[in-house]
A = this chain, B = another copy of it.
């Protein structure tokens, strides 16, 4: 567990809950985590942080640029470390597996479209939903 420099730079105190959450994203198994998942994984590893604090910390990390928030289909927000390079996502509707991609053709078309419609672009979100064909995929359709 390290890297309090991000927290300092964001003007946030170095607290135990914040370090635990950060550690989960830096050293955990999943890049993409919901608040509930963060909360449960911390509980499971003996660290107890209140759910309210998990939500607060995730929002603060998003605001300070440490995390990025995504709105996959459905209700809950999902977060991942902000490594500085934008990317979009393909989500498996059977097993939830997520693949990341970046396509400069799509990105530049988006800029052009926004300009054509007289919009100053802030942000965008692109999610592709489908069925992955991995062996591991539990509900994999036998084609």
Q: Are A129 and B124 in contact (CB under 8 A)?
A: yes
Contact of A118 among B75, B106, B121, B133 (CB under 8 A): B133
Shortest distance between the CB of A100 and any CB in chain B (Å): 9
Residue ID in chain B nearest A118 by CB atoms: B133
Count A-side interface residues using an 8 Å CB cutoff: 35
Decide yes or no whether A86 CB sits under 8 A from chain B. no
Contact of A128 among B105, B121, B132, B141 (CB under 8 A): B121
Contact of A101 among B99, B101, B117 (CB under 8 A): B117
Decide yes or no whether A29 CB sits under 8 A from chain B. no
State whether A122 and B93 are in contact (beta carbons under 8 Å apart), knowing that A99-B117, A128-B114 are contacts in the complex. Answer: yes
Decide yes or no whether A125 CB sits under 8 A from chain B. yes
Q: State the A residues within 8 Å of B (CB).
A: 71, 73-75, 90, 92-93, 99, 101, 103, 105-106, 109-110, 113-114, 117-134, 141
For this complex, 27 residue pairs linking A to B, each with C-beta atoms less than 8 Å apart, are A71-B71, A90-B117, A93-B122, A99-B119, A101-B117, A106-B106, A106-B110, A114-B130, A118-B133, A119-B130, A119-B131, A119-B132, A120-B130, A120-B131, A121-B128, A121-B130, A122-B129, A122-B131, A123-B129, A123-B130, A124-B126, A124-B127, A124-B128, A125-B125, A125-B126, A125-B127, A126-B127
